[in-house]
Amino acid sequence: MLLISCPWCGPRDETEYHYGGQAHVPYPETTADLTDEQWAEYVFYRDNPKGPFAERWMHSTGCRRWFNVLRDTVTYEVLSSYRLDEPRPELPQAGGNNR
Amino acid sequence: MTAEPLPEHPDFLWRNPEPRSSYDVVIVGAGGHGLATAYYLAKNHGITNVAVLEKGWLAGGNMARNTTIIRSNYLWDESAAIYEYALKLWEGLPEELDYDFLFSQRGVLNLAHSLQDVREGVRRVNANRLNGVDAQWLEPDEVAKVCPILNLSSRTRYPVLGGTFQPRAGIAKHDHVAWALARRADEIGVDLIQGCEVTGFLKDGDRVVGVETNRGRILAGRVGLASAGHSSVLAERAGVRLPVQSHPLQALVSELHEPVHPTVVMSNHVHVYVSQAHKGELVMGAGVDSYNGYGQRGSFHVIEQQMAAAVELFPVFARAHVLRTWGGIVDVTPDASPIIGTTPVENLYVNCGWGTGGFKATPAAGWTFAHTIATGEPHPLNAPFALERFATGALIDEHGAAAVAH
Ligand SMILES: Cc1cc2nc3c(=O)[nH]c(=O)nc-3n(C[C@H](O)[C@H](O)[C@H](O)COP(=O)(O)OP(=O)(O)OC[C@H]3O[C@@H](n4cnc5c(N)ncnc54)[C@H](O)[C@@H]3O)c2cc1C
Ligand SMILES: [Zn+2]
């Protein structure tokens, strides 16, 4: 079981949280001009890296707030957790979706 | 009643050749799908200059880790067609491959515990029948006849309100299936190469012409990916982005017991599925871990929940001991249906996204993937499962019939 630190409530067991997939996926800006392929990209395509991954979690049985976690998908180590208005922390070894 | 002994298997199953410098077709991944693809490339299309490259050992991926349930009671026409085709192939395969892999058509029962489950179940039974798939709706007293050890009391937290039953469904001994396919593919001349990891692709413009491996470069006329949990990592190296996410999925077995459990029971609602293997272990599974992962192990709380559900459904299992737990990595698509077809890179083909349910499809996945690779065009059965559906919107939403939460 993962031990994840909610930015507001502190470290809690994984079972208190709900997973929300990849973080930092912005809603497209010029929606009227998007092709079907670009919409598909926004709706269905997500990164799936082996290694550090920035993802969203929600503290569903606690404060019920969303936040971001940087986690290694191979070792399952939680590298960092941060609020939605904070930038993704720079990690020397970070790969994945840092774009 | 005593448990069935496993069949003897021949000592010699396949050669272990050195990779040659070039092949007509290279398949990446020697799981069930890669092996079946090689077998049908040879058998149906006469293409035998084929290598199957496997980074670990033959069929050591999800093929070795799954709970072996085979059924075809999916909701949509496209899925019913391909899974039922697979089931028909399964019915002839032990004889065709001359190998007893204990395909046992003991039926699969999908339980309903809520009014919504009941409606969904009845709808699926009707859809199945229209597609020529054997399916029945069972009321609780009929469920009791099919599986007498089930707790059908109305006093449980989620009482059983009925279930769908597919009598032709069942289980097979998964590693024997792999060995059967491998032996036959090897006999026809296919090179099965273990310990050979594909690390990159050789390209000529927009066309793939070979693969880079830890054992050197191998040229290939065509390349087919059948690498399950690692499909997106691999496709990315060829410049192809896939809409799949890799999740850990785990299973467990108990110690051996006398045969007590006559069928396969699955419950989407309380989330456990149980069958009894030929030797006598209870084989159990549940949903995927919610998060992405490549760690080949699953979370303990998933085991805890599935055990709670299993003990309520089967009070007779309350004292059974868990012997072993393990995990695999499954690649899940947004509509819980696979992707089998061409890619934007010429001569590169992909078979992936089977998520938690690709074992049952093994022969049909191999059959249609071999057709696609051999002809460059999809077979009518896999045409709807193209990558393009995520842009056209023609999704095949099987989250309900997938029967496992993801
Ligand atoms: C716990 C669990 C329970 C399941 N239960 C069921 C079930 O009851 N019924 C059902 O129908 N399905 C089930 N499944 C799903 C099923 O196992 C998979 O959908 C199916 O095995 C996928 O196809 P495959 O056999 O080709 O995959 P795999 O057997 O995983 O084959 C892929 C192979 O590719 C290799 N590979 C990956 N990357 C590379 C590379 N770069 N170079 C070379 N080789 C590479 C891997 O080592 C692996 O051997 C279950 C899965 C799990 C994990
Ligand atoms: Zn919180």
pLDDT digits (tens, 9 = 90+) for A33-44: 999 999 999 999
> Please, which residues 345-404 of chain B have a Cβ atom closer than 8 Å to chain A?
390-393
Angstrom distance (rounded) from CA B71 to CA B332: 19
pLDDT tier, A98 (very low <50, low <70, confident <90, very high otherwise): very low
Which atom number of ligand 1 is nearest to the Cα of residue B360? 11
pLDDT tier, A97 (very low <50, low <70, confident <90, very high otherwise): very low
Mean pLDDT of all residues in B217-235: 98
Angstrom distance (rounded) from CA B43 to CA B37: 10
Angstrom distance (rounded) from CA A24 to CA B255: 46
pLDDT tens-place string over residues B77-133? 999 999 999 999 999 999 999 999 999 999 999 999 999 999 999 999 999 999 999
User: Of B110, B94, B89, which is closest to residue B362 (Cα–Cα)?
Assistant: B89
Residue A77 is given by DSSP the state -
* pLDDT at residue A93 in the model: 57
Query: Is residue B248 scored above 50 in pLDDT?
Result: yes
Q: Does B308 touch chain A (CB under 8 A)?
A: no
Q: Which of A36, A48, A55 sits opposite B392 (nearest CB)?
A: A36
pLDDT tens-place string over residues B295-324? 988 999 999 999 999 999 999 999 999 999
* DSSP letters for B8-30: P--S-----PPPPSEEEEEEE--
Which atom number of ligand 1 is nearest to the Cα of residue B213? 42
Alpha carbon distances (Å) from B118 to B79, B124, B404: 21, 10, 17
**Which of B291, B303, B396 would you mutate first to test chain A, the one with the most A CBs within 10 A?**
B291
ipTM of the complex: 0.93
| Distance from Cα B62 to the centre of ligand 1, integer Å | 3
Task: Look at phi and psi of residue B280 and say left if phi exceeds 0, alpha if psi is from -120 to 50, else beta.
Answer: left
Substitution site in B356, B369, B404 for ligand 1 pocket (most atoms within 8 Å of beta carbon): B356
| Distance from Cα B229 to the centre of ligand 1, integer Å | 7
**B229 near B244, Cβ under 8 Å?**
no
Beta carbons of A53 and B292 less than 8 Å apart: yes
Q: Which of A1, A53, A76 sits opposite B301 (nearest CB)?
A: A1
Query: Is residue B8 scored above 80 in pLDDT?
Result: no
A50 contacts: CB under 8 Å, gap ≥ 6: A73, A74, B233, B294
Ligand nearest to the CA of B26: 1
Beta carbons of B246 and A15 less than 8 Å apart: no
Which residue, judged by its Cα, is nearest atom 35 of ligand 1? Answer: B29
SS3 B115: helix
> Please, which residues 102-141 of chain B have a Cβ atom closer than 8 Å to chain A?
none
pLDDT tens-place string over residues A64-84? 999 999 999 999 999 999 999
Angstrom distance (rounded) from CA B321 to CA B309: 15
**Which of A46, A48, A50, A99 would you mutate first to test chain B, the one with the most B CBs within 10 A?**
A48
Taking the CA of residue B217 and the nearest CA in chain A, the distance in Å comes to: 24
| Distance from Cα A2 to the centre of ligand 2, integer Å | 15
* DSSP letters for B200-243: EEEEETTEEEEEEETTEEEEEEEEEE--GGGHHHHHHHTT----
pLDDT tier, B12 (very low <50, low <70, confident <90, very high otherwise): confident
Which atom number of ligand 1 is nearest to the Cα of residue B234? 41
* DSSP letters for B24-78: EEEEE--SHHHHHHHHHHHHHH----EEEE-SSSTT-SGGGTS--EE----SSHH
Substitution site in B71, B87, B227, B233 for ligand 1 pocket (most atoms within 8 Å of beta carbon): B227
Q: Which of B290, B294, B299 sits opposite A74 (nearest CB)?
A: B294
% of chain A beyond a pLDDT of 90: 89
Mean pLDDT of all residues in B9-13: 74
**B109 near B140, Cβ under 8 Å?**
no
pLDDT tens-place string over residues B37-68? 999 999 999 999 999 999 999 999 999 999 99
User: Which residues have any ligand 1 atom within 6 Å of their CB?
Assistant: B 28-34, 53-56, 59-63, 65-69, 197-198, 226-228, 230, 234, 249-251, 285, 328, 330, 354, 356-360
| Distance from Cα B291 to the centre of ligand 2, integer Å | 18
Residues with CB under 5 A from ligand 2 (ion): A 6, 8-9, 59, 62-63
Nearest chain B residue to A45 by CA distance is: B243
Beta carbons of A73 and B392 less than 8 Å apart: no
Angstrom distance (rounded) from CA B377 to CA B259: 46
Q: Which of B241, B290, B391 sits opposite A36 (nearest CB)?
A: B391
Beta carbons of A37 and B232 less than 8 Å apart: no
